[in-house]
A = this chain, B = another copy of it.
Amino acid sequence: MASVNEDFLNLKNDYLFSAITERKNEFEKNNPDKKVISLGIGDVSLPLTKVVIDAMHKATDEMAKKETFRGYGVVQGYEFLIDKILEVEYQKRGVFLEKDEIFIASGSKGDLAGIAEIFSKDNRVALMNPVYPAYRDVNVMLGRDDIVYLNGTEENGFVPEIPSKHVDIIYLCSPNNPTGTVFTRKQLELWVKYAKENNAVIFFDSVYEIFIENENIPHSIYEIEGAKEVAVEFRSFSKLAGFTGVRCSFVVVPKELKLYTEFGEKVDLNSLFRRRQSVKFGAAPYITQRAAEAVYSDEGQKEIRENVKYYKENAKYIKKELEKLGFTVYGGENSPYIWLKIPKNMSSWEFFDKLLNEAGVVGTPGIGFGDAGEGFFRLTAFSSKEETKEAINRISNIFKR
């Protein structure tokens, strides 16, 4: 009798975004003349840049000729891309990694899930709260029920304290989704120290690092001494270069990082992940990897920074205008996310309904990111300048009264 992996039955329904869509659709049905503006989804709106498009056309043409056609790729990724990543993302910041410590793939979702498989079910996991819900779901699917939540609050600036009890795996996301807050060098040093003392591993999700502007904020956890022994880093081209529909990511698995067997022997995460990828992952497409390579040309770097600047201006505008209205606002500075404190004991769903019904603006209720998100609301800077202004105007009209 084919039986189900019962861990999957412990998954909660993916309620948040379907509930948002449902309420939005209902509103649009009842108000056919009102255009709803979404500041809810973390998807980009600017198209791919010229250098990237040119690289894709060129690679496509290579795939059309027998002499330059590329079939199965190297599972780890093409060296032409890995070399660029090593140089631009790491060496320029004084971080030296080896080629075989970088794994190119097709999106951080898959990478976060793939690495987590290699850890025993018995590891105690620490998750920030509020946080990107997929971290929790991946662990639930793997049967890990020992999850410690590290609450982000106004008091700690949404940067949780080191846990008082021992944990084995720690998910850190900086710049953070949804709170928009960032870990300083000092804070990261404490986490790396904790991980070393506890033989724990940090999963460092820094897919929003391109939004960092404050010089004190590390872009990579490997800027912290000793981090290679304890940290895996997840990076993506989705927000870096607008690749949400193209799909390219990479994960850094340093060879210094060891896991333990039940008899206390050390094993190498890097080799196990390589083996895992060779069985379960079919290499990122050639054209995609050429597109990602183009991001690292001088012109490519200039273009993506212009796009990021556009989104950051949106973020700052949202933050400034909401503060004028008397709101307390977090994030929005080294991040595309604005984390808004909801006034007067409203729930985050009530605030959602108010914004939708009175302003025709969609955001994301904080509760969707964990119970510590209640009382807050996430807005994103990824819409167009025009839509962002219009949304903020509409919100102002409600709260100015």
Whether the pair B72, A120 counts as a contact (CB closer than 8 A) is: no
Known: A53-B60, A64-B53, A137-B279. A3 touches B120 (CB 8 A): yes
Within the complex, what minimum Cβ distance (angstroms) separates A16 from chain B? Answer: 11
| Contacting pair B66 A260 (CB below 8 A) | no
- Given A43-B72, A56-B60, A69-B47, A3 and B261 contact (CB-CB distance below 8 Å): yes
Binds B, one of A91-99, A148-156, A197-205, A311-319: A197-205
- Cα–Cα, bound, A246→B284 (Å): 8
Considering only residues 55-113 of chain A, those with a C-beta below 8 Å from chain B are 56-57, 60-61, 63-66, 69-73, 106-110, 113
Residues of chain A whose beta carbon lies under 8 Å from any beta carbon of chain B: 1-6, 8-9, 11, 14, 41, 43-48, 50, 53, 56-57, 60-61, 63-66, 69-73, 106-110, 113, 117-123, 134, 137-138, 141, 168-169, 198-201, 242, 244-247, 259-262, 267, 269, 272, 275-276, 278-288, 384
Cα distance A47–B6 in the bound complex, in angstroms = 44
Indicate if the CB atoms of B106 and A106 lie closer than 8 Å. Answer: yes
Contact B109 A245, beta carbon cutoff 8 Å = no
25 A–B pairs (Cβ distance < 8 Å), ordered by A: A1-B198, A2-B119, A2-B200, A2-B259, A3-B120, A3-B261, A4-B120, A5-B118, A5-B121, A8-B117, A14-B275, A44-B71, A47-B64, A47-B65, A56-B63, A69-B245, A73-B245, A106-B247, A106-B285, A107-B282, A113-B279, A113-B280, A138-B279, A141-B280, A285-B288
Given A69-B47, A285-B245, A279 and B109 touching (CB < 8 A)? yes
In this complex, what residue of B is CB-closest to A11? B275
* CB-CB under 8 A for A4 and B280, given A246-B63, A288-B285: no
Cα distance, A282 to B245, chains bound together (Å): 9
Asked whether B1 lies within 8 Å of A168 as measured between CB atoms, the reply is yes
Judging by beta carbons under 8 Å apart, are B282 and A106 in contact? yes
Complex: how many Å from CA A2 to CA B138? Answer: 17
Residues from chain B with a CB closer than 8 A to the CB of A8 are: 117-118, 272, 275-276
Docked CA distance A153–B107 (Å)? 42
- The answer to whether B57 and A260 have CB atoms under 8 Å apart is no
**B46 adjacent to A120 (CB under 8 Å):** no
CB distance from A162 to the nearest CB of B (A): 16
* Contact B285 A246, beta carbon cutoff 8 Å: yes
- Is A64 a contact partner of B45 (Cβ separation < 8 A)? no
Tell me if A120 and B6 are in contact (CB < 8 A).
Answer: yes
- Compute how far the CA of A60 lies from the CA of B134 in the bound complex, rounded to whole angstroms: 30
In the assembled complex, how far is the CB of residue A228 from the closest CB belonging to chain B, in whole angstroms? 14
List chain B residues, Cβ under 8 A from A64: 47-48, 50, 53
Q: Given the complex of chains A and B, what is the CA–CA distance between A199 and B2 in angstroms? A: 6
A60 to B57, CA, bound (A): 7
Chain B residues near A50 (CB, 8 Å)?
64
A1 contacts across to B, CB distance below 8 A: 168, 198-200, 260
A118-B8, A282-B109 known; A71+B244 contact, CB < 8 A: yes
Query: Does B259 contact A4, Cβ atoms closer than 8 Å?
Result: yes
